[in-house]
């Protein structure tokens, strides 16, 4: 059998593009998933009464209305709880509201003054040119004090790489820090809601954890998914592509990490080296039991002496989960294990934007596209996309491939 589309990877990106194609009238498709079940980073486990999203913190929030339309077409909005985001940062034992620059007045006075001085002297406000490494960019954006005591240790913990090894072109031109607004909030000792980040509200399923979102998109295309089927080679044969020497398709969409495909005949030596150079981290998600009586959804933890970089208080966004459940995210390089009830290692958690990563992935994508292979999602495009952006990118790819009938069905036309 010759498929019109073969999709590598059954995570949120692979399932989203499969469903969009299906809604557009394409039924000759197959989704090849390496693991024994689809879902990737969007899987959930129920463990001793706790809801655990084993891929880490996932919440439905997006700036794209069409993504909401698509999701709510498959799982009704009333199957979700909606929350006003409550996230905190642990600065030397003091929990302050995120984002830090809006909440400096919550710190003790001497530290507040030191952080205000850091922001006032940031290089961007002084008109200095934008640096080229992530470490210097952080210092340029927020000043040395905030860089050294918050941003640099936090990012070293999450990425598993020093910020000096990372590029800045993945930051997508974040706006300048409004120094006047920062000082105004500190003097008024109150948060200005107009300055909150765009994801100030989020949805979370009433039952089933975040996997409920994935399952709703997956169920209509589940019969097209083949599990326990890792793809290791793609080769070109006339006008067809052949996967693992057997499955044939007219077009391939890759949503999986490129490393397993490096030996494919469609790639030159330069592309294989580029694939080798792509960096990623791995994250351990661990479940713990701790009593808590607050409304915080998650906590950022920059203290370098604390192994984890984020903790999530499950009951505060899933009231049906046991009241003392906490899960932690820890870079696998820092993971030692202690009192966890359960842990899961995500070998591929985030693509790491090391210096030159954009040129590196462009080398891979150029040769893949030339062979008839499209890239999609966090791993195909090798960018730190949240699940809503993965869905949005799937929509854009479906349009480029000439399939748009899904817009009528999902109210996005």
Strand partners for 96: 89
For the entire predicted model, the pTM comes to 0.96
| CA-only gyration radius of the chain, Å | 22
In the structure encoding, which two tokens stand for residue 274, read together?
A: 């580029």
The two beta strands, 373-375 and 240-243, are unpaired
Phi first, then psi: give them for residue 29, nearest 5 degrees: -145, 155
The whole-number pLDDT of residue 196 equals 67
Residues 6+ apart with CB under 8 A from 78: none
The CATH number given to 2-81+206-280+355-409 is 3.50.50.60
pLDDT of 193 above 80: no
| Per-domain residue ranges of the chain | 2-81+206-280+355-409, 87-198
- Per-residue HEC secondary structure of 101-134 comes to HHCHHHCCHHHHHHHHHHHHCCCCCCCCCCCCCH
Separation CA 315–CA 375 (nearest Å): 37
Strand partners for 215: none
Work out the pLDDT band at 129, boundaries 50, 70, 90: very high
7/337: higher pLDDT? 7
In the structure encoding, which two tokens stand for residue 92, read together?
A: 């030397």
Q: What is the pLDDT of residues 163-185, one digit of tens each?
A: 999 999 888 667 888 899 999 99
Q: What is the pLDDT of residues 215-270, one digit of tens each?
A: 999 999 999 999 999 999 999 988 999 999 999 999 999 999 999 999 999 999 99
The whole-number pLDDT of residue 82 equals 97
Phi first, then psi: give them for residue 247, nearest 5 degrees: -65, 130
Give the three-class secondary structure for 86: coil
Across the chain, which distance is largest between two alpha carbons, in Å? 71
Distances (CA, A) of 139 to 7, 104, 136, 355, 381: 42, 17, 5, 17, 28
Q: Tell me how crowded residue 274 is: count the other CB atoms within 10 A of its CB.
A: 24
The whole-number pLDDT of residue 256 equals 98
What fold, for 87-198?
Answer: protoporphyrinogen ix oxidase, domain 3 (1.10.3110)
In the block, residue with structure tokens 């209305």:
65
pLDDT of 76 above 60: yes
Work out the pLDDT band at 197, boundaries 50, 70, 90: low
In the structure encoding, which two tokens stand for residue 247, read together?
A: 């499955």
């Amino acid at each position: 059998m010759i498929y019109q589309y073969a999709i590598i990877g059954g995570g949120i990106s692979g399932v989203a593009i499969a469903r969009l194609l299906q809604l557009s009238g394409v039924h000759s498709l197959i989704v090849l998933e390496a693991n024994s079940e689809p879902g990737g980073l969007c899987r959930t486990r129920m463990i001793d009464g706790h809801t655990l999203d084993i891929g880490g913190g996932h919440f439905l929030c997006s700036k794209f209305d069409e993504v909401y339309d698509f999701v709510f077409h498959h799982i009704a909005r009333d199957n979700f709880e909606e929350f006003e985001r409550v996230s905190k940062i642990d600065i030397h034992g003091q929990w302050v509201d995120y984002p830090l620059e809006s909440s400096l007045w919550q710190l003790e006075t001497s530290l507040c003054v030191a952080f205000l001085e850091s922001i006032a002297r940031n290089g961007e406000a002084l008109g200095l040119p934008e640096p080229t490494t992530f470490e210097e960019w952080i210092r340029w954006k927020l000043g040395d004090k905030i860089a050294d005591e918050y941003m640099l240790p936090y990012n070293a913990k999450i990425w598993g790489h020093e910020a000096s090894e990372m590029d800045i072109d993945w930051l997508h031109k974040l706006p300048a820090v409004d120094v006047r607004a920062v000082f105004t909030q500190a003097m008024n000792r109150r948060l200005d809601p107009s300055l909150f980040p765009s994801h100030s509200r989020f949805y979370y399923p009433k039952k089933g954890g975040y996997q409920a979102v994935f399952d709703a998109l997956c169920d209509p295309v589940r019969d097209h998914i083949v599990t326990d089927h890792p793809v290791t080679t793609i080769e070109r044969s006339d006008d067809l592509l052949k996967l693992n020497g057997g499955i044939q398709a007219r077009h391939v969409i890759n949503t999986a990490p490129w490393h397993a495909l490096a030996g494919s005949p469609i790639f030159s030596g330069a592309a294989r080296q580029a694939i080798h150079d792509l960096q990623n981290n791995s994250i351990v998600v661990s479940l713990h039991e701790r009593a808590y009586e607050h409304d915080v959804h998650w906590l950022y933890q920059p203290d370098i002496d604390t192994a984890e970089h984020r903790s999530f208080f499950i009951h505060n966004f899933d009231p049906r989960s046991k009241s003392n459940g906490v899960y932690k995210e820890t870079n696998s390089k820092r993971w030692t294990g202690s009192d966890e009830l359960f842990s899961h290692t995500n070998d591929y958690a985030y693509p790491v934007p090391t210096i030159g990563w954009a040129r590196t992935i462009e080398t891979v994508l150029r040769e893949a596209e030339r062979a008839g292979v499209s890239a999609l999602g966090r791993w195909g495009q090798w960018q730190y996309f949240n699940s809503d952006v993965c869905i949005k990118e799937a929509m854009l790819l479906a349009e480029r491939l000439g399939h748009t009938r899904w817009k009528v069905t999902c109210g996005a036309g």
